[in-house]
């Protein structure tokens, strides 16, 4: 497929002038500060609204349920969203088999997503799924996703079977993603270790704790420092990372503060630039975590340049994030960066 050619065919943003851009951004920021429900009357998808980096494909090709591209577009209009980047979610058992079935699952997801994107290239994008435990399969899928399907990045789940993503067996895939300067989107998954301990909590706290474990693991294994050209996106306002970052810092292997008292003392530091440097270079999307406390913690921990917008539809109603964000009274420049300015840096093809 030729996305560039199809962009020209759709041409839905090519004629927008700089003045329209600035007007649109101002309107978008102002709209975010309107009272709840004030934007409901707006049904057409805006050209300069937020770029949603956290959505999933539902229906028979994905999470199931009543899902269609038209329904996504209707919700985008209702909530003032301009573009959506889809990713795989909740299918780790099918994807991370380590055999041919995992490769087939990844291929099917990616080709289905690429078809939706090719039909609406300026509206949609996708993070390709890779069968992570299968190194050769993952390398082949990264190549196919980027070179043939023109994926916008790579999606991984927070835990992979019994391992976290910094495990040495995944190194070839990280090397390749770093070589391609990939944008990676990490989606929460319920870890095997905790699946049965407290099953009622799997969709509330377990997923966010798994995100926290995944990035702590990427930090402690030196993965974040070893692959600096990857642009990593963390889900749900960083889960508990912004709040726990200080405690994580003081326990990282080789941390100066161990003072020889902890068993990890003396190990060569895996984060030569420091823990905060590594965690503050990550990007954080705010899907279903735009409540007062997570946004306050996130803004206290990372600069505005690292904030992204997400909704987690169809797992969550997009209005839950949109309406909560309106209540945060964020300054217009912060909203502009969070809604689309930072995403345009990561995904320049969505730039107006
Ligand atoms: Zn999700």
Contact indicator for 187, 217 with CB cutoff of 8 Å:
no
Which pLDDT does position 152 carry in this prediction? 98
Distance 144 CA to ligand 1 centre (A): 24
The secondary structure of residue 204, as a DSSP letter, is I
pLDDT attached to residue 149: 98
Place of tokens 């994926």: 151
Positive/negative CA dihedral, 19, 24, 27, 29: negative
CA of 29 to the centre of ligand 1 (A): 25
- Distance from Cα 53 to the centre of ligand 1, integer Å: 10
Report CA(63)–ligand 1 centroid distance (Å): 10
The β-bridge partners of 155 are 129, 185
Compute the distance between CA of residue 165 and CA of residue 155 in angstroms, rounded to an integer: 12
Give, for 153, the enclosing helix (H) or strand (E).
strand 153-157
Condensed to tens digits (0 to 9), the pLDDT of residues 62-74 reads 666 789 999 999 9
The radius of gyration computed from the CA coordinates of the chain, to the nearest angstrom, equals 20
Supply the pTM of this predicted model: 0.85
Q: Which residues contact 126 (CB under 8 A, 6 or more apart)?
A: 85, 86, 87, 110, 113, 114, 116, 117, 151, 152
Give the environment of ion ligand 1: residues with CB less than 5 A: 89, 312, 315
Q: What is the pLDDT of residue 324?
A: 97
Task: Round to whole Å and give the CA distance between 108 and 347.
Answer: 23
Q: How far apart are CA 48 and CA 234, in angstroms?
A: 24
**Angle of the 135-147 helix axis to the 100-119 helix axis, nearest 10:** 10
- 205 alpha carbon to ligand 1 midpoint, in Å? 14
92 CA from centroid of ligand 1 (Å): 13
Compute the C-alpha angle 239/242/247, nearest 5°.
Answer: 110
How many angstroms separate the alpha carbon of residue 56 from the centre of ligand 1? 6
pLDDT of residue 29: 39
Q: What is the pLDDT of residue 90?
A: 66
Res 215: pLDDT: 97
C-alpha of residue 229 to centroid of ligand 1, in Å: 24
pLDDT (0 to 100) of residue 194 = 79
The domains located in the chain, with CATH, are 52-346 (3.20.20.140)
What pLDDT, on a 0 to 100 scale, did the predictor assign at position 65?
75
Q: What pLDDT, on the 0 to 100 scale, is given for residue 334?
A: 98
pLDDT, averaged in runs of 10, over the chain (352 residues) = 31 34 40 39 75 90 79 95 93 89 96 97 97 97 98 96 94 98 95 83 88 95 95 98 93 57 52 92 98 98 98 94 97 97 98 90
Q: Please count the other Cβ atoms lying within 10 Å of the Cβ belonging to residue 302.
A: 23
* Predicted pLDDT at 265: 44
Query: How many whole angstroms from 17 Cα to the centroid of ligand 1?
Result: 34
Ligand 1 centroid to residue 52 C-alpha, Å: 11
Tell me the per-residue pLDDT of 265-310, one tens digit each, with 9 for 90 and over. Answer: 444 568 888 899 999 999 999 999 999 999 999 999 999 999 999 9
Whole-number Å distance, alpha carbon 238 to ligand 1 midpoint, is: 13
CA of 129 from ligand 1 middle (Å) equals: 14
In contact, 336 and 25? CB cutoff 8 Å: yes
Q: Distance between CA 348 and CA 250 in Å, rounded?
A: 37
Length in residues, the chain = 352
pLDDT at 241: 97
Q: What does DSSP assign to residue 307?
A: E
Cα(235) to ligand 1 centroid in Å equals 8
Position 250 scores a pLDDT of 83
């Amino acid at each position: 497929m030729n996305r560039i050619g199809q962009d020209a065919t759709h041409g839905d943003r090519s004629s927008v002038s700089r003045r329209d851009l600035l007007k649109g951004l101002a309107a978008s920021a102002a709209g975010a500060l309107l009272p709840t429900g004030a934007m409901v009357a707006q049904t057409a998808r805006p050209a300069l609204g937020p770029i949603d980096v956290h959505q999933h494909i539902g229906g028979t090709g994905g999470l199931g349920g009543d899902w269609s591209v038209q329904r996504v577009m209707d919700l985008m209009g209702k909530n003032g969203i301009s573009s959506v980047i889809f990713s795989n979610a909740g299918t780790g058992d099918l994807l991370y088999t380590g055999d041919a079935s995992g490769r087939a699952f990844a291929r099917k997801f990616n080709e289905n997503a690429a078809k939706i994107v090719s039909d609406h290239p300026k509206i949609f994008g996708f993070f390709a799924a890779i069968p992570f435990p299968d190194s050769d399969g993952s390398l082949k899928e990264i190549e196919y996703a980027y070179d043939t399907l023109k994926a916008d990045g790579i999606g991984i789940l927070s835990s992979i079977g019994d391992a976290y993503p910094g495990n040495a067996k995944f190194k070839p895939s990280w090397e390749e993603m770093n070589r391609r300067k990939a944008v990676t989107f990490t989606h929460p998954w319920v870890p095997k270790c905790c699946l049965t301990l407290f099953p009622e909590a799997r969709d509330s706290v377990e997923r966010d704790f798994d995100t926290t474990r995944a990035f702590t693991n990427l930090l402690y294994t030196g993965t974040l420092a070893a692959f600096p050209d990857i642009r990593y996106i963390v889900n749900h306002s960083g889960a508990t990372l912004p709040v726990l970052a200080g405690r994580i810092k003081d326990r990282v292997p080789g941390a100066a503060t161990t003072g020889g008292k902890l068993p990890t003392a003396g190990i060569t530091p895996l984060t030569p630039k420091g823990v905060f440097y590594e965690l503050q270079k990550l990007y954080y999307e705010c899907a279903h975590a735009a409540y007062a406390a997570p946004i306050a913690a996130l803004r206290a921990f990372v600069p505005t340049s690292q904030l992204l917008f997400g909704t987690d539809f169809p797992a969550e109603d997009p209005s839950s994030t949109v309406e909560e964000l309106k209540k945060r009274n964020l300054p217009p420049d912060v909203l502009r960066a969070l809604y689309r300015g930072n995403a345009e840096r990561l995904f320049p093809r969505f730039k107006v």
